Amino acid sequence: MRQSKRMATQVLKGGLLLSLALTPACSQANTPDNQGTPAPTEELRLSKLPGDLQPEPGASLLIWESKEARPFTEQLMKEFTALYGVPVRMEEVGTMDQIGRLELDGPNGTGADVVTTSQDLLGRAVTAGLLLPNDVFSESTVQDHEEAAVRAASYGDKLYGYPIKVMTYAMFYNKALIAEPPKTMEEVVAFAADFNDPAANRYAFMFDAPYFYFSYPFLASTGGYIFGDHGLNPDDIGLNNEGAVRGMKQYAALRSTLPVSAGDLASDIKTALFSEGLVAMNVSGAWSIETFRNAGIDFGVAPIPDIGGEPSVTLSQVNAWYVSAFSRYPQAAKLFAAFASTKEAQLLNYELTGAIPTNKQAGADEQVQQDPIASVFYEQFRRSHPAPSIPEVSNVWTPMDAAMVEIWDGGDVKATLDQAVGNLQDAIQLNRQSGAQKPESSDAPF
């Protein structure tokens, strides 16, 4: 298979697709002399929050956000300042860099008051004492946001985050090659029997088989999972249970439908083939939309077809706002984080950046539901499992990626999963012996 140099390779790190981080300038102290958010001249889109919480006298806030979120964040800051009288500044810091930087800048008073990150760094942040719980607005957060988003923003028995947006994946299909997307994997296989032409690199269905993150639906749709108790119990591993084995056997059977070795299923290769009109269906995330549009493909987006007779379950990442434990103005910071995650704020974020909402009312809003792409990603997210937030999740990706490659290339499903789980258990035990912390069980209301 040939790789198109015209396609931008997406970056996979730790098995999860991460946003590209923009290296920030040196941090400045968050003082009233270092402000500069002007009041907006246009009509306000957002409203004050109900309740009695008020910002501290003289409060000002520093926000860290990624470059990609700037159009939304700048508007958000203007409206917050207009409504609450609190000046807000933003520094561009990549989503996956903020927790590491807060560890350094927080104690010396130069860190942000409000940060954004996804749940794969939440456990590290909480155990290091970097974040304040979402206490004042916890009830409304649980009520207003999808369950998967609330789980992702929680650690142990406490809610910490104020969810912003979700990232997951679905199935793109080329309308010129297949008019209606299949609803089951059996239909995919039937279509491939007549469509495939390996000699011409023409395939019915492609996905990132070597990566556990993208192959997770084959394990989870039929009853597998990473950790029990909503991802909080690393002593309960569901990666080789009966449901996981059953689903992964269907994964292994797809090798006859996609007769390509795991090493040749790189993300950029399948992206190039779909963009060239050689692949009918391609599993990817919203990050591919612009690439496929620029390639001139008339595409649609559909849920990943049912697996083993069950709706497909993907893994999801949820970005959320978090309040720094080092903030001089925690009340103002909590107000901002809650203000920035309301239905109205998430609809504004969707309009300005295309972010898929976590707020239930925003997801059900006409703007999202009438969008043939956003509505599908939102629906796929609703049936997703949020990637666990506990530190032990960092031990999952390497053995499970290796297992996906082994099974795809012909290895025994049960034996390979058993070996991967054994390696995962060994890694967790080694971390415990070296002093890694273990979270408590969850009694959260979700």
Alpha-carbon span 360 to 113, nearest angstrom: 27
Q: Using 50, 70 and 90 to split pLDDT, how confident is the model at 296?
A: very high
> Mean pLDDT in the chain?
88
Higher pLDDT, 231 or 436: 231
Given this model, what pLDDT does residue 391 score?
86
Return the exposure string of 160-186: e unless at least 16 CB atoms fall within 10 Å of the residue's CB, then b: bbbbbbbbbbbbbbbeebbeebbeebe
List residues bridging with 188 in a β-sheet. none
Kindly report the backbone phi and psi dihedral angles of residue 191, in degrees, each rounded to the nearest multiple of 5, phi listed first. -65, -40
Interval 365-381: pLDDT, tens:
999 999 999 999 999 99
Residue 438 lies in a domain: no
Let me know if residue 442 belongs to a domain. no
| Same domain for 267 and 416 | yes
Query: Residue 39 to residues 17, 28, 336: CA-CA distances in angstroms?
Result: 36, 22, 16
- The answer to whether residues 92 and 240 belong to one domain is no
User: Could you give the C-alpha distances from 107 to 48, 63, 324, 332, in angstroms and in order?
Assistant: 31, 16, 10, 19
CA distance 61 to 183: 48
Looking at the fold, whether 298 and 232 belong to one and the same domain comes out as yes
Domain end (from 355, 371, 386): 386
In a shared domain, residues 254 and 238? yes
Residue 12 lies in a domain: no
Instruction: Kindly state whether residues 162 and 196 are assigned to the same domain.
Output: no
Residue 412: which residues within 8 A CB-CB, separation 6 or more? none
Query: What are the φ and ψ backbone dihedral angles of 277, each rounded to 5 degrees?
Result: 75, 25
The string of pLDDT tens digits covering residues 379-398 is 999 999 999 988 899 899 99
**Domain around 326:** 21-167+316-386
pLDDT at 157: 83
* Residue 77 placed within a domain: yes
Residue 276 predicted with pLDDT over 50: yes
DSSP per-residue string spanning 80-110: HHHHH---EEEEE--GGGHHHHHHHHTTTT-
Beta bridge partners of 310: 307
- Model confidence pLDDT, tens digit, residues 3-31: 332 333 232 233 322 232 322 333 333 33
Contact 318, 148 (CB under 8 A): yes
Domain check: are 300 and 322 in the same one? no
Do 274 and 282 meet the contact criterion of CB atoms below 8 Å apart?
A: yes
Q: How many residues does the chain have?
A: 446
At 33, the pLDDT band (50, 70, 90 cuts) reads: very low
Query: Which pLDDT does position 332 carry in this prediction?
Result: 98
Half-sphere exposure of 337 (CA within 13 A, CB side): 36
Residues 117-154: tens digit of each pLDDT: 999 899 889 999 999 999 999 999 999 999 999 999 99
Specify if 181 maps to a domain: yes
Q: Are residues 290 and 373 in the same domain?
A: no
- CB-CB contact of 337 with 55 (8 Å): no
pTM of the model: 0.84
Residues 356 and 249 reside in one and the same domain: no
User: How many distinct structural domains can be found in the chain?
Assistant: 2
Report the CATH number that the domain containing residue 185 is assigned in CATH: 3.40.190.10
Q: Are residues 398 and 299 in the same domain?
A: yes
Would 13 be classed as within a structural domain?
A: no
Do residues 306 and 371 share a domain? Answer: no
Beta strands in 33-136 (DSSP E): 61-65, 88-92, 114-118, 131-132
Of 386, 419, 441, the residue that ends a domain is 386
Domain membership flag for residue 138? yes
- 411/267 same-domain check: yes
Q: Are residues 177 and 300 in the same domain?
A: yes
CA distances from 294 to 18, 20, 171, 352, 403 (A): 22, 20, 18, 20, 35
Q: Per the domain annotation, does 373 fall within a domain?
A: yes
